[in-house]
Structure 1
């Protein structure tokens, strides 16, 4: 549809900031995310609220404020009247209802203490399935930092050899009271179960004991990663794991994109609904790297989301890794596939030295084993790139 510019100019109030709606997500009543236009007066001012809506929200309490590159904004409780006032302010890019993000795990099975490497590591280092030996270069991700936005990490687990640290908690609990984050960390960098056995692990706890957290907290965690990573020694680069998700929410995607623009690589879970991942966040953000899950028989897991622009597929069914009680656990989900890829990203950076996020995505896809995965039926699944993550060691 074409618009006459003169006509558009006569209708300034008809073109206010939109209130974006989530497709099916769980929203938090009265809580909103407000994203500002780059370069606006409010985005440059320490007193954001006093410069918005003619001062109508000056006394509103901000739950979080955000500044990641050009991504500026805040989270707050707002009345309907305040929402309308912000929608009419030309400095506001858009508003969204805050919502809930969840871990992307399918099931929890019995805790085990097996010290053998899981099947996923063997698959990651061989072109053919069925090999239990994990082959890897001795650099093993040295000189890299891995950030995990999740339920925290049990840093005292002997598998981490003192390389894990809980940087910040947004839940009031300075421990992994769920286990999911520790499991993810183990697949990335533990001595037995990890892909990159020398990477340093930094956890941001944004999810509670039930594995859930608000989107506003997730965005705050992303900003923490950007700022904290600048204070660490990571000469070969920084990678980020987000094994969480929910219905598509633009502000989360924009925050991830802004962090990628800062030079950080984000691998994210595609989701566990057996659906097209384009309807989910943060998986749908093009600058992130969405990961689907496969099983030990090289089939795309029935729960795994899919899509024509999926980044890569990795082992995500019956994955053995570290747990928050000092033992181990076997669980499944795209949450488990994603840390295989984040570990692989750290592993590649340990070998090559620092490269940008886009180049790292390309390298992971170029190394991948093509055509190995059974994608099952359905046109959308069939269009999913048939690329299984591979570390290149035995090619």
Structure 2
């Protein structure tokens, strides 16, 4: 009897020593009794299924005995690549039991994630598109290759999207609603705006890419981390079945406190070949305190203003990879027309759209895209913030100088006017820089990015984009100079 008691105590001690960590989130807004559970990488499908069966039995027993949590149990299940896990509402005793399973990596309280703030301002000029195809600020023209993201799918992980907005030309579809509110619409306007910047005919960068709306935030612009992780899981699985993850881009203009679960999910998506653009946050603080912006494998984006300074609200720090236009950005709004918003939420979709554009144009994918964006960008941003390793502003590599190929920027629709976005104009290559009075086709007819008519050939820019080797550059430079 004494030997049996000793063995029992020893096993209990070993179990306690090997118990998974139950993380604390002291500075975050948590969802009462809601948790995210992540399994270890070596957990097999059989192990995971066995754990779920055990969980259902254990949780039912604990709830029946104490009846402390209502409408409880597992809500989301995650299973993609190496990541297995789930979320749900459980009482304290069940959480302690879960943590004792040696296959559990960690348990994290479910927290609230929000859009990264927004500032609305009417009647301001739109400048973001022009800036990413020019070498200097102050231009109003956007030069781009006619491939325009064709063949790439962009996932908007946000508040939903008005997929019927005229700017999407029927290229947007509804994907998934992880909010489970029964409302497959964008009541906030945030997701429609960010999506317009990515793929819109008027306001967008990848004007031929497809868009999939994945709603993870409610009408108030917030939602639980567990639903966002589920949204990432859904995107990866959908991309696998529809063209492949190497032809997929995910934009996440959202964030909250540091979350190991959210960072892990984002990293798994990147490892599967997707490109993730993530807003750095709008608190004028170190982005390392925010998820998923603090995940090293994603492309974390700070916001820039029209004068090429860091936007005053933009987060900074070692996590940042790039800057993109984020102040007073005009894009689509639900129901038609346009509106202006500011935030790193507006900067990230510039990067996502440009990523889709380059993936179609150059055939690159995944983590290589962020590196390519850094190569093409210009060291333009001032006052980047403490510890920020980059001052690179994104550029599509399609123009030099002041980008003379005319494409007047659209202005936001006035609330009292009919909700129709201003039709921008796009000339054929070589036409004069004066905007024509009638709308032109939305993309140049030349199969590659045109250099504005009348400019000298930009040999250095051409060589950097298509070859890059210094030895070959010197050997062949005489042919161009």
Q: Is the shorter-chain TM-score for this pair beyond 0.5, marking a shared fold?
A: yes
Equivalent positions of 1:263-274 (< 5 A) are: 263-274=273-284
Question: Residues of 2 paired with 1:303 and 1:23: CA distance?
Answer: 24
Aligned-residue offset at 1:47: 4.8
Given candidates 390, 394, 410, the residue that maps to 1:389 is 394
Question: Residues of 1 paired with 2:242 and 2:15: CA distance?
Answer: 47
Aligned-residue offset at 1:236: 7.0
Partner of 2:372: 363
1:229 is paired with a residue whose SS is helix
Q: Which moved more, 1:163-172 or 1:118-127?
A: 163-172
CA contact (8 A) 1:193 1:321 kept: yes
1:271-323 deviations in Å (ceiling 9; x for gaps)? 11111111110111111110000010111011101112311000000000000
Partner of 2:151: 143
2:59 is paired with a residue whose SS is coil
Q: Which moved more, 1:359-368 or 1:12-21?
A: 12-21
1:230 is paired with a residue whose SS is helix
Gaps of 5+ in 2: 1-12, 62-71, 400-460, 462-481
CA contact (8 A) 1:105 1:331 kept: no
Q: Does 1:32 align with 2:31?
A: no
1:110-152 deviations in Å (ceiling 9; x for gaps)? 4x7x9x8x30011100111111101111111111100010011
Question: Residues of 1 paired with 2:118 and 2:257: CA distance?
Answer: 17
Equivalent positions of 1:28-67 (< 5 A) are: 28-40=31-43, 44-51=47-54, 55-57=57-59, 61-67=73-79
CA contact (8 A) 1:291 1:337 kept: yes
Aligned-residue offset at 1:262: 1.1
2:278 is paired with a residue whose SS is strand
Q: Does 1:254 align with 2:264?
A: yes
Partner of 1:299: 309
1:141 is paired with a residue whose SS is coil
CA contact (8 A) 1:30 1:78 kept: yes
1:22-76 deviations in Å (ceiling 9; x for gaps)? 35221101000011112235764435322459x5236762110000211101101
Q: CA distance change for structure 1 residues 73 and 58 in 2, over 3 Å: closer, same or farther?
A: farther
Partner of 2:386: 379
Question: Residues of 1 paired with 2:102 and 2:245: CA distance?
Answer: 42
Equivalent positions of 1:263-342 (< 5 A) are: 263-342=273-352
Partner of 1:189: 199
Equivalent positions of 1:233-252 (< 5 A) are: 233=243, 237-252=247-262
Q: Which moved more, 1:80-89 or 1:56-65?
A: 56-65
Equivalent positions of 1:77-88 (< 5 A) are: 77-88=89-100
Aligned-residue offset at 1:388: 0.6
CA contact (8 A) 1:49 1:58 kept: no
Question: Residues of 2 paired with 1:42 and 1:348: CA distance?
Answer: 37
CA contact (8 A) 1:69 1:262 kept: yes
1:182 is paired with a residue whose SS is helix
Question: Residues of 2 paired with 1:236 and 1:272: CA distance?
Answer: 30
Partner of 2:16: 13
Aligned-residue offset at 1:14: 2.4
Gaps of 5+ in 1: 1-9
CA contact (8 A) 1:43 1:72 kept: no
Partner of 1:209: 219
**Which of the two has greater strand per residue?**
1
1:184-215 deviations in Å (ceiling 9; x for gaps)? 01000111110111110111011111111111
Partner of 2:172: 164
1:379 is paired with a residue whose SS is coil
Aligned-residue offset at 1:89: 1.7
Bigger CA radius of gyration: 2
Find runs of 4+ consecutive structure 1 residues off by over 6 angstroms: none
Question: Residues of 2 paired with 1:140 and 1:268: CA distance?
Answer: 21
Question: Residues of 1 paired with 2:373 and 2:386: CA distance?
Answer: 25
CA contact (8 A) 2:303 2:347 kept: yes
TM-score by length of 2: 0.75
Would you say how many aligned residue pairs link Structure 1 and Structure 2? 376
Partner of 1:72: 84
1:84 is paired with a residue whose SS is helix
Aligned-residue offset at 1:108: 2.2
CA contact (8 A) 2:15 2:100 kept: no
Q: Does 1:103 align with 2:112?
A: no
Q: Does 1:198 align with 2:212?
A: no
